[in-house]
Amino acid sequence: MNPRLQSAAAAGTRRQAGDTDRPHGAPDAFRSQSRRRLFRADLLTVLAPSVAGAVALWLADGVLDLSGTIKGYAIRRSGAALRGVGLEDWCLNAGGDVLVSGSPEPGSGVPWQAGIVDPADRRRLATAVPLGGAGRFTALATSGSAERGDHIWTAGAGLADFVQVSVVALDIVTADVLATAIVAGGRPMLDRATDEWEVEVLATLPDGGLLGTPGFRASS
């Protein structure tokens, strides 16, 4: 049991029929070999240092499967575009996954506050976590079945260990991939993520109980 987790306490990718983020559902321009090679190289450059070993990008037939990675990658590229035009203080929210820079009060060191919705009641927040400002972490991603229903393949049979997992990290790709990987891989992947990556994790159990690393417990 990981000592960082309170109460009790591999990797998977999410797939859903008709996903438009798969290469075989992409426009013809993306199907060209040259564009595909450039995209793969760029994506792997992002993934390699952050979540190596936690996600598989290719299916057994060799098709590039981006369904567990593309959202975080797109958010990261958007953040880079904002920095590229000289913006220092901003907050990006893409479907509940958040990447920030600077502060809502420029120059103050005050962090942004990112809320995490209670999966049992979408009208209320389970907690809020500080991002950016004078702190280290700048990214938050949440994965689970509460918003979109069951769309993540889980390891083994039976019910998933968690109905929702939120991950705070230094990078949005890391947060996004690990949140889904923990939902898919259950407690073993939760322990691995908190051992191998610099992250904070909040996991919601099917009975509504919570498991949280110290950073989440301090911010609750």
pLDDT in tens, the chain (220 residues): 454 554 333 333 333 333 333 333 444 444 455 555 545 555 555 454 445 455 555 556 666 666 667 788 889 999 999 999 999 999 999 988 999 999 999 999 999 999 998 888 888 988 999 999 989 999 999 987 555 555 455 555 556 788 899 999 999 988 988 888 888 888 888 998 899 889 999 999 988 899 999 887 655 5
pLDDT of residue 3: 47
CATH no., domain 23-219: 3.10.520.10
Say how far apart CA 146 and CA 165 lie, in whole Å.
10
Residues sharing a CB contact under 8 Å with residue 155, sequence separation 6 or more, in sequence order: 10, 12, 184, 185, 186, 188, 189
Which of 168, 94, 86 is CA-nearest to residue 131?
168
Q: Is the CB of residue 7 less than 8 Å from the CB of residue 209?
A: yes
Which of 134, 190, 152 is CA-nearest to residue 10?
190
